[in-house]
Chain A
């Protein structure tokens, strides 16, 4: 794999988010929803904190538990629904417009192409998450939130979203139809999200397996301020496996 080649592709795709309406719509709606959530969480936290003070309930409330954890927990759910909009066109549009021929007949490897696409999507998500940094910055100006929890929450959110993007890229490679790609992506990501629900009724071994497969379960530790190797390994292998499948899917099309 050549990073320079992947970068050439990533750069073009990243720029084309901004030459089409996608970037503006996704960013504007995402920030509006997140802003609304942040405002309400803060208001609720304020009220609770005042109650605690008034009735002197013995222990104080933490910003980590009251604001940061629900904020990033919710951001993940919003990103679950927003991420397909970022990935849907990456391959589907190239195939539909036949521009994929340009990539496939250029002296770059399929790995370069897949990684370049992934890179452009992650860059865009980085911009999205980066734009929400105003909320933690606000917290830091007016309070003392736990920086460790904040950093691990942001990192966890980013890694989890990268997994969501990987699924999106895979389905974008499978179809020429962007609507189909979006629909499949949301459904499969959602299933992987709630797969742990059946852990409660499954047997002892399967329950463990299902818990480990769940996308959101691996975020729990991040939201508590702990970055654990097991979670990192899960997210990175998820991304690797998804991109690997994308590579296989694209390669198989050539043989038909």
Chain B
């Protein structure tokens, strides 16, 4: 649905994004993850045709964004970083404008507005002036604007910014509900955001893609070796040596009763043998399990790795 090839954007001497390549298939929800200033918004602005790329191609729905901008824009619903809302208009008037701007057929305008209002839960404020609404409502008006012509592709730049936790959950549910018939790209620098909604994650840092995978795949890939964690009643050196002796274990570090056991990658299931070694040495297992690498760690690892490479 979206095909990005060799995309670069330079602002004068500064490179905002550098040779991006990725593809988003129909019905997928893809998350752009990266720190602020990584190039997420720039990429989205190029896909939506708001600004041209310095190099590379983008096709959306089969149309090149540079050669056939109108067709591309018609296929996209876009929520920019700052919701593009007119403060002096009422919610309903604004959505009416957005629908007409997207050439929704006259007979469908009212139905589409009602649908967008219902989806984004704006019923209570539909006739109020946008400027008087809270930040959360404004954000939802921005989202409603992107939805109102029911486009096949949705590009959402930080869609849940400024919302309270309950609204965040609502918007996540809404986004998940739109998947399937809609192709969605959303960006965030908040990790739970993408874990909660996206099927696939593209991690961007300093204008480059540093990783692209499903959440599980990303976690697997980054674990490199698996870590096991064990809390024992009384750690003793012979026990630690026994665990170290298990084939596949590359190291054990102990801080008081807490042991962290490093395993070489692709060794299969070793937990049973590690536990056996611990029990036989009489340390007394209180807690034992695989250590989960959180997305935060992955994120930090990826982005700092990249920085380290550049520093060399």
8 Å CB contact of B74 from A9, A103, A107: A107
Given contacts A98-B84, A99-B86, A256-B11, contact A105 B78 (CB under 8 A): yes
Q: Is the C-beta of B80 less than 8 angstroms from some C-beta in chain A?
A: yes
> How far, in angstroms, from A107 to B74 measured CA to CA in the complex?
5
CB of A198 to closest CB in B, whole Å: 40
CB proximity to A under 8 Å, residues B260-283: none
Contact with A along B95-128 (1 / 0, CB 8 A): 0011011110000000000000000000000000
- Which residues from A are CB-within-8-Å of B51? 254-255
Cβ of A74 within 8 Å of any chain B Cβ, yes or no, is: no
Q: Which of A12, A101, A106 has the most CB of B within 10 A?
A: A106
Nearest opposing residue in chain A for B101, CB measure: A106
Q: Is A138 on the interface with B (CB-CB < 8 A)?
A: no
Contacts of B93 in A (CB 8 A): 15
Is A224 among interface residues, defined by CB-CB distance under 8 A?
Answer: no
Is A8 a contact of B88 with CB atoms below 8 Å?
Answer: no
Contact check, B101 vs A101: say whether CB atoms are below 8 A apart.
Answer: no
| Contact of B49 with A by CB under 8 A | yes
B85 within 8 A of A: yes
A101 to B145 CA separation, bound complex (whole angstroms): 12
Pair A107/B98 contact, Cβ less than 8 Å: no
Interface centre among A4, A97, A104 (most CB of B within 10 A): A104
CB of B48 within 8 A of CB of A107, answer: no
Per the bound structure, the CA–CA distance linking A101 and B50 in Å amounts to 7
Q: How far is the CA of A39 from the CA of B39 in the complex (A)?
A: 63
Q: Tell me whether B85 and A99 are in contact (CB under 8 A).
A: yes
Contact B102 A106 (CB under 8 A): yes
Interface string of B32-64 (1 = CB under 8 A from A): 000000000000000011111000000000000
In this complex, what residue of B is CB-closest to A18? B88
Query: Is there a chain A Cβ closer than 8 Å to B70's Cβ?
Result: yes
Q: B132: CB under 8 A from chain A?
A: no
A66 CB to closest chain B CB (Å) equals: 44
Nearest residue (CB) in A for B99 is A8
Whether the pair B70, A103 counts as a contact (CB closer than 8 A) is no
Are A254 and B73 in touch, CB under 8 angstroms? Answer: no
How many residues does chain B have at the interface if contact means C-beta atoms less than 8 Å apart? 28
Given contact pairs A101-B80, A102-B98, A102-B101, A16 touches B145 in the complex (Cβ within 8 A)? no
Q: Could you tell me if A8 and B52 are in contact, using CB atoms closer than 8 angstroms?
A: no
Are the C-beta atoms of B82 and A107 separated by less than 8 Å?
A: no
Residues of B within 8 A of A144 (CB): none
Q: Quick one: which of B82, B88, B145 contacts A19, CB cutoff 8 A?
A: B88
* B50 cross-chain contacts in A, Cβ below 8 A: 101, 104-105, 254
Tell me, yes or no, whether A109 is within 8 Å of chain B by CB. Answer: yes
Do the beta carbons of B52 and A255 come within 8 Å of each other? yes
Q: Is B76 in contact with A102, judged by CB distance below 8 angstroms?
A: no
> For the complex, what is the distance from the CA of A98 to the CA of B48, rounded to whole Å?
15
Report Cα–Cα, A201/B43, bound state, in Å. Answer: 57
Chain A residues with CB below 8 A from B101, complex form = 5, 8-9, 102-103, 106-108
Known pairs A254-B50, A255-B52; A106 contacts B73 (CB<8 A): yes
In the bound complex, CA of A130 to CA of B69 (Å): 40
Shortest Cβ distance from A162 into chain B, in angstroms? 25
- Find the A residue at minimum CB distance from B78: A105
CB-CB under 8 A from A108, the residues of chain B are 70, 101
Contacts A102-B98, A107-B70, A109-B70 given; indicate if A16 touches B49 (C-beta within 8 A): no
Q: Mark A76-107, 1 if CB is under 8 A from B, else 0.
A: 00000000000000000000011111111111
| Chain B 240-259 interface 0/1 with A at a Cβ cutoff of 8 Å (1 = within) | 00000000000000000000
Query: Does B89 have its Cβ within 8 Å of any Cβ on chain A?
Result: yes
Cα–Cα, bound, A150→B30 (Å):
65
B16 to chain A, nearest CB (A): 12
Chain B 146-203 residues near chain A, CB threshold 8 A: none
Q: Are A16 and B88 touching (Cβ within 8 A)?
A: yes
Q: Chain B's nearest CB lies how many Å from the CB of A14?
A: 12
Judge whether A54 is part of the interface by a CB distance below 8 angstroms.
no
| A residues near B102, Cβ cutoff 8 Å | 106-107
- Is residue B87 contacting chain A, with contact meaning CB distance below 8 A? yes
Measured in the bound complex, the distance between the Cα atoms of B49 and A255 in whole Å is 11
List the 7 closest A-B pairs by CB distance, nearest first.
A102-B84, A107-B74, A107-B73, A106-B101, A8-B100, A99-B84, A105-B48
A–B complex contacts, Cβ < 8 Å, 16 sampled: A4-B103, A8-B100, A9-B101, A12-B97, A97-B82, A97-B86, A100-B84, A101-B50, A102-B101, A105-B80, A106-B73, A106-B102, A107-B70, A107-B73, A107-B103, A108-B70
Q: Which residues of A contact B (CB under 8 A)?
A: 4-5, 8-9, 12, 15-16, 19-20, 97-109, 254-256
